[in-house]
């Protein structure tokens, strides 16, 4: 489990850490968009150089995790909404940790990030030792390098200012490319520089000497007898079968069947059961995990029994997943789409994917299952960000308004700039009232190019081409907020 001592830090790794710190200082102070990906690239190269120096050759899954982590950082560059970007950044950190550690087992993949956090302390010390070695261990030898960097900075500042004063076009170009370096922001820029360098060295140290959590052996649970193990699961499967039969008869039987058997509307019926079915799915996965730990395993007949019972339970659980998704669809049809509703449907679909993977593992073996489950989660987060959830929410609510005349104006006003293309299709004055808050926020927040998402830039272009109607004033919007039904 213990990490091997890392190899001597390469010069390329030190340069990569320096570039990461400079990029962090210059780019991350204005928000997160494309700049996060730009900062991650030199940090990734530094980790690659460190792994090479340690004799670690990246394997297919390391490339997949690393590429997936960088791909996830595209989401903040595309979407203005904070919540899918936050999920993407968290998933990118997890994927990056897996790329650095190369875990295969559940233990290695779940506990691997611990080594990354401990490297926040050991990584900078490792980098400093390497820097001292390159200058003969004497502090005085670092002075010429620092003086050279200072002279280079002064030359860039002086001649850059002169060129900017000589040509207005060059001044505009320089102003658009260079971030704000005001004196007031200097302490914050210094903090960002330190964070960038420390983070890059921590990643490189982890790549050079990862903690081998895969070597930790988890003792298997005590095998149970066939009857003791199978009887509770068979009873549970029978309960699933009865419930699913009712679902097929009632839920998919149409609106009249729901009214006749329950006395409820479609929306009431859907809202009543979705959350319970989501919990059922989670508990089913827990039951399957515990059942595998205590499964009988004396001979081939035991494994046949395990596959048959758990496979049946997985199939029945998939029907429960379909029922839960169907219920949420009914609820959205009645009341519109929201961030919470689209999020929980995404989680339910991923849980269904996990059930399918468990069934496949029962046929072809489970060695690949931990990687597949976490890869499915990462792909799901990436797809969630790429489809623009705020845009999908706005589009569905606009469609519902056109079909029924019902529109939750208060809710769509709180969406991000990603919703502007869909809301732009509304008729006035509803359009201007829906976009007023977003337009005001866009006017107040003018970030540089590297901190501006594509969704925000696209929204600005739409609002510039078709400004808000001056007739949609505060009184008109307040009247619409009270008059428009949303249920």
Q: What digits encode the pLDDT tens for the residues 423-462?
A: 998 888 888 888 988 988 888 877 888 888 999 999 999 9
How many C-beta atoms lie closer than 10 Å to residue 101's C-beta?
A: 26
Q: What pLDDT does 183 receive?
A: 42
Asked if residue 419 lies in contact with residue 393, where contact means CB atoms within 8 angstroms, the answer is yes
Residue 421: exposure state from Cβ atoms within 10 A (0-12, 13-18, ≥19) = middle
Mean pLDDT confidence for 355-383: 90
Is the pLDDT score of 309 beyond 70?
A: yes
Out of 165, 184, 215, pick the residue that ends a domain: 215
Give which of 150, 168, 137, 298 is closest to 223, Cα–Cα: 298
Residues 465, 430 share a domain: yes
Is the pLDDT score of 140 beyond 60?
A: no
Q: What pLDDT does 4 receive?
A: 63
For the entire predicted model, the pTM comes to 0.82
Say if 202 falls within a structural domain.
yes
Domain range for residue 430? 389-483
Give which of 116, 48, 41, 99 is closest to 73, Cα–Cα: 41
Residues 50, 183 share a domain: yes
- Tracing tokens 């691997």 back to the chain, one arrives at 112
Is the pLDDT score of 176 beyond 60?
A: no
Is the pLDDT score of 138 beyond 60?
A: no
Residues 280, 246 share a domain: yes
Banded model confidence at residue 252, pLDDT cuts 50, 70, 90: low
Say if 257 falls within a structural domain.
yes
Residues 109, 24 share a domain: yes
**Structural domain total, the chain:** 3
Higher pLDDT, 2 or 466: 466
Is the pLDDT score of 264 beyond 70?
A: no
Mean pLDDT confidence for 32-38: 89
Q: What percentage of the chain exceeds 90 in pLDDT?
A: 19
Is the pLDDT score of 88 beyond 90?
A: yes
Residues 438, 347 share a domain: no
Is the pLDDT score of 77 beyond 70?
A: yes
Say if 193 falls within a structural domain.
yes
Say if 80 falls within a structural domain.
no
Residues 397, 312 share a domain: no
Say if 5 falls within a structural domain.
no
Residues 474, 379 share a domain: no
Q: What pLDDT does 454 receive?
A: 92
Say if 71 falls within a structural domain.
no
Question: d(Cα 110, Cα 289) in Å, to the nearest integer?
Answer: 15
Question: d(Cα 110, Cα 206) in Å, to the nearest integer?
Answer: 16
Please give the DSSP secondary-structure letter assigned to residue 370.
Answer: H
Residues 282, 165 share a domain: no
Highest mean pLDDT among 139-148, 292-301, 337-346: 337-346
Out of 341, 371, 386, pick the residue that ends a domain: 386
Is the pLDDT score of 327 beyond 90?
A: no
Banded model confidence at residue 225, pLDDT cuts 50, 70, 90: confident
Say if 96 falls within a structural domain.
no
Asked if residue 206 lies in contact with residue 127, where contact means CB atoms within 8 angstroms, the answer is no
Q: What pLDDT does 418 receive?
A: 92
Say if 94 falls within a structural domain.
no
Residues 133, 22 share a domain: yes
User: What digits encode the pLDDT tens for the residues 398-432?
Assistant: 998 888 888 888 888 889 999 999 999 888 888 88
Asked if residue 460 lies in contact with residue 468, where contact means CB atoms within 8 angstroms, the answer is no
Q: Is the dihedral of CA 165, 169, 172, 178 positive or negative?
A: negative
Question: d(Cα 75, Cα 79) in Å, to the nearest integer?
Answer: 6
Residues 139, 177 share a domain: yes
Q: What pLDDT does 184 receive?
A: 45
Is the pLDDT score of 257 beyond 70?
A: no
Residues 140, 234 share a domain: no
311 sits in which H/E element: helix 300-335
Residues 310, 275 share a domain: yes
Out of 324, 357, 386, pick the residue that ends a domain: 386
């Amino acid at each position: 489990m213990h990490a091997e001592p890392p190899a001597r830090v390469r010069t390329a790794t030190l340069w990569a850490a320096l570039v990461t710190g400079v990029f962090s200082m210059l780019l991350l102070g204005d928000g997160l968009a494309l700049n996060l990906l730009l900062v991650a690239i030199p940090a990734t190269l530094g980790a690659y150089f460190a792994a090479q120096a340690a004799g670690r050759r990246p394997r297919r899954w390391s490339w997949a995790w690393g590429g997936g982590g960088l791909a996830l950082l595209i989401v903040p560059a595309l979407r203005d909404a904070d919540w899918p970007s936050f999920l993407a950044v968290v998933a990118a950190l997890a994927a990056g940790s897996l790329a650095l550690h190369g875990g295969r087992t559940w233990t290695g993949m779940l506990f691997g990030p611990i080594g990354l956090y401990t490297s926040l302390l050991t990584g900078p010390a490792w980098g400093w030792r390497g820097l001292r070695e390159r200058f003969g261990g004497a502090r005085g030898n670092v002075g010429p390098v620092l003086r050279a960097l200072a002279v280079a900075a002064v030359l860039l500042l002086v001649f850059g200012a002169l060129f900017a004063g000589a040509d207005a076009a060059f001044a505009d170009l320089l102003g658009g490319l260079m971030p704000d370096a005001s004196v007031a922001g200097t302490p914050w820029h210094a903090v960002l520089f330190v964070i960038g360098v420390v983070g890059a060295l921590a990643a490189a140290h982890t790549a050079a000497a990862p903690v081998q959590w895969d070597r930790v052996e988890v003792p298997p649970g005590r095998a149970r007898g066939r009857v003791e193990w199978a009887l509770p699961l068979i009873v549970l499967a029978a309960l699933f079968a009865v419930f699913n039969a009712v679902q097929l008869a009632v839920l998919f039987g149409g609106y009249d069947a729901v009214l006749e058997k329950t006395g409820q509307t479609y929306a009431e019926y859907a809202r009543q059961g979705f959350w319970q079915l989501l919990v059922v799915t989670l508990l089913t996965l827990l039951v399957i995990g515990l059942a595998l730990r205590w499964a009988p395993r004396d001979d081939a007949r035991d494994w046949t029994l395990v596959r048959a019972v758990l496979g049946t339970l997985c199939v029945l659980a998939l029907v429960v997943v379909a029922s839960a998704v169907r219920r949420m669809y009914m609820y959205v049809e009645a009341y519109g789409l929201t961030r919470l509703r689209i999020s929980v449907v995404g989680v339910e679909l991923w849980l269904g994917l996990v059930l399918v993977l468990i069934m496949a593992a029962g046929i072809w073996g489970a060695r690949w299952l931990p990687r597949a489950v976490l890869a499915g989660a990462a792909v799901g987060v990436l797809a969630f960000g790429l489809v623009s959830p705020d845009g999908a929410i706005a589009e569905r609510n606009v469609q519902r308004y056109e079909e029924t005349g019902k529109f939750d104006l208060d809710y769509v006003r709180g969406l991000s700039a990603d919703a502007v293309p869909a809301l732009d299709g509304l008729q006035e004055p509803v359009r201007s009232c829906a976009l007023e808050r977003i337009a005001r926020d866009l006017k107040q927040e003018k970030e540089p190019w590297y901190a501006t998402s594509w969704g925000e830039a696209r929204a600005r272009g739409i609002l510039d081409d078709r400004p808000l109607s001056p007739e949609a004033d505060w009184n008109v919007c307040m009247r619409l907020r009270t008059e428009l039904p949303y249920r």
